[in-house]
Amino acid sequence: MSENITGKVVVITGASSGLGEATARHLAALGASVALGARRVDRINALASELNSAGAKAIALETDVTRFDDLERLVDAAVQAWGRVDVIINNAGLMPHSPLDRVKVEDWNQTIDVNIKGVLYGIGAVLPHMKKQMAGHIINVSSVAGHKVRPGSAVYAATKAAVLMLSEGLRQEVKPYGIRTTVVSPGAVATDLPASITEPDVAAAIKDFYEHNAIAPEAFARAVEFAMSQPADVDVNEIIFRPTRQEF
């Protein structure tokens, strides 16, 4: 069904590594044009250069998802380059787990700013274009943690649950414009996400869990491909996946 991906213009946040990088490579190989956003501009510039050298179409723009203007610039750059924006993947995220009694206020604020506001800003940046086009697809990244909270993950889980609610509210609001919405909730996937944990004991436990359970980020890219590949009248609203061996 990849014929429904060829020629689509896709904006991806958090594209410098992990889920975003794997998805950019996968969709570019299927013929999509990709606009890559991330703070690590050297990484996305190198990825865009690699994809373009291989015959794909890619641009890169330094993007901090906690700044709405950055998201607008990224989306506008895609529209200027290719005339439209078909898909945004709001992927950028942080996971600084810690028990609440450690009162990691800075971690809390950063997690809320990136995981909730970053998704909202991505939605806000594409909606004017997609409403004008009367078409589009907004893909938001939640987590299995958005469905099941565990000790030490309260703030992270709360932000990912918020993504679920934002996505469902968005789904209902954009029906008149032919816009599709998908929220993808991954389990343990081998990415840089555990590196955002600032508490050494928590980081060690999560590292061990990921080493024994995490699957490759290409699993996420295939889930995105599945949602995007459906005919225009099919709206895949939610995908939950995890490693087969992951219990929770």
Query: How many other CB atoms sit within 10 Å of the CB of residue 45?
Result: 18
Output phi, psi for 61, to 5 deg.
-145, 130
Q: Taking the mean position of all CA atoms in its chain, how far away is CA 133?
A: 22
**Using an 8 Å Cβ cutoff, are 38 and 92 in contact?**
yes
Q: Which of 29, 159, 64, 152 shows the shortest CA–CA distance to 100? A: 152
**CA–CA separation, 29 vs 33, rounded Å?**
10
**Using an 8 Å Cβ cutoff, are 4 and 228 in contact?**
yes
Question: Can you read off the two tokens belonging to residue 233?
Answer: 């009248």
Question: Can you read off the two tokens belonging to residue 32?
Answer: 């999509």
**CA–CA separation, 72 vs 67, rounded Å?**
9
**Using an 8 Å Cβ cutoff, are 124 and 167 in contact?**
no
121 flagged as catalytic: no
Q: Is 40 helix (H, G, I), strand (E, B) or coil?
A: coil
What positions carry a catalytic annotation?
156
